[in-house]
Every structure is written in C-alpha cells, then in structure tokens.
Structure 1
C-alpha cells in the first residue's frame, strides 16, 4: 500500500457517524504506560509530553485521572522518572500496570504476581495517601484460560486490588509511533491526516460503546476511557477532551464510575464468569456485536 493510499484508507475506515443529541455521559479517563509510552518525536522529552497532557487535563477540569505505571521504564529511560512526581503533584493518582508490561497469557500466575509486586514499592512511595491498588492488565489480557483468570483474580483480591475496566477505547496508542516518524520527516500534511483520523476514531468509538450500552440497558452506563501517555496523545488531548465535552460528557473519577453495577466483577475481583466488557456482555445475551468501525492497520505505512 502506498503512503497516500494508507492515509485515504484510514480516513475512509474511520468515517464518523452522527451521534445522538448530547446528554449527560459520565466518563472516567485513565492513562496507561506512565512514565514513557511509544516513540518520542525529535526534540520531545517525556517530561514535556507529560506536562502538555497534564495541562490539557487541567484545562478540561477533568478532576483526578488515574495513570497506570510500568516501573521498568525508569530503568530504560532514567530521564522519564520525573514524570511520576509531576503526575502526582498535579493531583492525579497512580495505579499498577505491572513492572514491565508483560502479557499474562505468556506468564504463570506466580510470575504475574511478581510483576505486580515489583511495582508496589514505587507506587507506595509516590502515593501520598492516594489509593494505588488499582490494576490495569497489560494488553487488557486476563489470561488465556478460566483457571489462570481465576487464580490471578484471587491474588488480586488478596492484595486488595480493584481492576480498572475499559469500556471506551479507540486504540489511541497506534497513532503515537507514526506521529514520531512524520515529525522526523517534517511531513506536516501527514500529521494533519493523523489528526483527522484520530478524531474520527474517537468519535466512532464513543458511538460504538454507546450503542452497545443502549442495546444492553437502554441507556448510557458510565464509561472508562483508555488512553496512553504518548506524544501524539498529548498533542491531541485538548481537542479530544473538548470533543467529549461537546457530546455531553462529564469527566468522573474512576472510583465513582466503577460503583455502577456493570463494573461489579472488576471492583471486587472475586473469580467470576461474569462478562467485564460491553462486547462480552452483549454476546452473553445473544445480542449482535459488530466489528470496530475504526481501523488502525493502515497507520503502520505512514511516513515510512
């Protein structure tokens, strides 16, 4: 696929439908991969990315936003260490994304627990009295078997964790690396196309999650939005948050959102067969679940 064809494919595949009349939609923003996510464009720093992202949260008056950390990044990029106290100084809590972001499907429960525990000293040091015992599974993977899922949930419960669900996501992570490539090439036209496709994917994902919620409950549940602390996310955060507000979104703390009955199985991680995603909840009731209307596969060809 040519570069131009890749750009056109992204725009076509992310053509956004019209949303319903704005209403009061509660959304908890959560941000993964602190202190360092994806490639850095030339001239950028991790601290600069975090500062812009935090400024966007402040301007949008989001209130506290959980950032989920991988402590290994401080070893890989020592200059990123200042991001975590910055995040806390801005009033945002931290949670556990495991030490090195390994996929539970490739680990046994004991190895996963070691990954979890290795992050805890850092979290405890930075917490300042905030509740850091929230887990975001790397890759959103709870394991490849019911037995592993149950074993890990038991250890999470024993250690006092809640699970940070995800009910709203547009694969924002996928734009950060192409953006770094395009900045390196000085391709402003490609960056503009990335901006367009990013926003269209965000629009489509909100419609997608709202449609699933409407099919299940006849109304909106409160949603948990997954984002990442990448350079393009920081660039787009002011526009993205303004878009959500234009659609009637009220930014709400994660703890409040997960008090909704839909999240019971993640707020209390007792082993259960209950579905924890909107898609699986719909499938359990025999409701149709369509493919994601956004598609990130063509992003890989941009600015190569």
Structure 2
C-alpha cells in the first residue's frame, strides 16, 4: 500500500519541493514634492503586496524620497509590516573617481539618522547603482564600516532593470495609449520572469545550487500598475516568494567577491570572479530588451 501511496504524495508535493525562492526588494522611493503621483504609487505598490500576501523590503535614498512627506511614505512600508533598509542620502556611485570614501560613508550615516526610528528599520545597506567601489580602499573601507556598525547583507541576486520599462510606461501613460500599455504589461511580466530565470541559471552554474534570491525592483509607476501581475506570474512559474530575512539567511550572502570595480548582482559578481565567459553588462536596457519588446508588439527606436 505504501509503495502505491508514496509516488502519489511525491507527485502532489513535487511543485513545492522544486519551488525556487525569492524575496522582493524595492529601491529609492518617490518624492511627493517632485512627483504628483508619488503617494498613489506608494499606496498601489503596498496594496499589491498586501493583496498577494507578500512581505518585502524597501531601500530608500533620501535624494529620491525628499526629507518631508516622502519620508512619511517610506514610514508607511514599516507600518504595513515591511522592512526598511538604507540606500544612502545622495545615491552616489561609489565607482566614480570623484566620490571619496569619507563622503560616501557620511551619506550612509545621514540616511540612517532619518530612517532608524521607523517601524521596520533593519540595518541592511543597498549600494546605489549596485556599485561597490572602483578601488580596494573604497570597496574594503565601506565593507569594514558596515561590519563595524553591524549592518547585514543588502545584496541583489536578480537585477530586473525595471527602470527601463518604467520609462516606457510613463511615455505611454502620458499619451493615454491603452493598447501600448497592455502590450507593455505582457512584455514587463515576461521580462521579470526571464531575468529571474537567467540569474537562477547563472547561480546554478556558479554555486551548483539555486539560492534564495533577492529581486531588485524600484518604487515606481510600472510596479504600481503591474506588480500584482508579476507576482502571480512568478508563482505560476514555480517561484515561492519569501520575506527578506528568510532570503538573506542563505549562505550566498556571506560571499564578498574581490572584483574591481566591485558590485552588480551578487550572482553576476561571483560568476565574474570565477571567470565565467559571456557575461553581458548587467544594466539591461534598450539593446537587450529590444527583442522582448518587439515580441510583444512594441517597436523600440534604435
């Protein structure tokens, strides 16, 4: 009898056993002083997360949120049960020669002062642009500061480059082009699925296992519109969505690649450190997305 039941049980639970895992993270935030839709964007993203029963983490940068009402929007994430990390005050690129270590560390401290008393605050740092330093001094200097101040990992393993699709979303929204927006929704969801699959495949080649991933998105208009669709599609394609603390407990986030310049998706950086060939530049925009967009009926200017 057991011999007959066991295969049936394995068949029923196979999707759960094989499910890949990821957490959702959101960078930057929106500023009501410069974006009239900021409050609605923030509310809509939080509503999508609530509807889908997802707990996420947001990494605000003060230059993106502003220091007034924008910080109240950030606080709403904590009040809704999400985590709040640190994305610096000025969103500086640490790989630029003119950005000094002292200047950069001051920016982390300034952002922490504005965020640390919010519900949901957690000392995790996300590097702006995913750039972690163009010199050993800057790379190791920030790593040492974060360790000394008991910061935990804030890395990304899946870089979805949603910012590029957000640019198209705003263009079509300004034109009230409902047909183009519907096509863009399909293209965006396909893009998120493709990027998740790509980085998971790269992890399998690099680490020989599928880690608990952290997906990078932004607090922006396209996610306010289509985040729910993206979450549903991820689940339909075998992804189990976990909270950020669960994801960051994975051993992958203990790795500190020695690359210079440092940064990018952690999976990408580890693959580069191992000498994997054919890694495309991770900032995926028009040249990379042209095929996907055209497949969904969207023509992109060359």
With normalisation by structure 1, the TM-score equals: 0.79
For 1:122, which of 93, 99, 114 is the aligned residue?
114
Contact persistence 2:30–2:220 (CA under 8 A): no
SS, match of residue 105 in structure 1: coil
Can you give the 5+ residue segments of structure 2 that lack an aligned partner in the other structure?
A: 1-14, 291-298
* Alpha-carbon contact 1:190-1:302 (below 8 Å) kept: no
Q: CA deviation at 1:193?
A: 2.8
Q: Structure 1: 5+ residue runs without aligned partners? A: 1-20, 267-271
Partner SS state of residue 25, structure 2: strand
Aligned residue in 1 for 2:188: 198
Q: Note if 1:30 corresponds to 2:21.
A: no
Q: Deviations over 1:139-183 (max 9, x none)?
A: 000011122101111111122212311111220111223222221
State the alpha-carbon separation in 1 of the partners of residues 274 and 157 from structure 2. Answer: 17
TM-score (norm 2): 0.80
Match of 2:209 in 1: 219
Structure 1 position 56 matched with structure 2 position 48: yes
- Greater length-normalized contact order (CA 8 Å, ≥ 6 residues apart): 1
Cα offset for 1:254? 1.9
Cα distance in structure 2, aligned partners of 1:294 and 1:103: 14
Q: 1:46 to 1:238 in 2, by over 3 A?
A: same
**Partner Cα distance (2:250, 2:166) in 1:** 32
Contact in 2 for aligned 1:36/1:229 (Cα 8 Å): no
Question: How many Å apart are 1:111 and its aligned residue?
Answer: 0.2
SS at match of 1:61: coil
Deviation at 1:295, TM superposition (A): 5.0
Match 1:281 to one of 270, 275, 300: 270
Aligned length: 270
Q: Distance in 1 between matches of 2:272 and 2:116?
A: 39
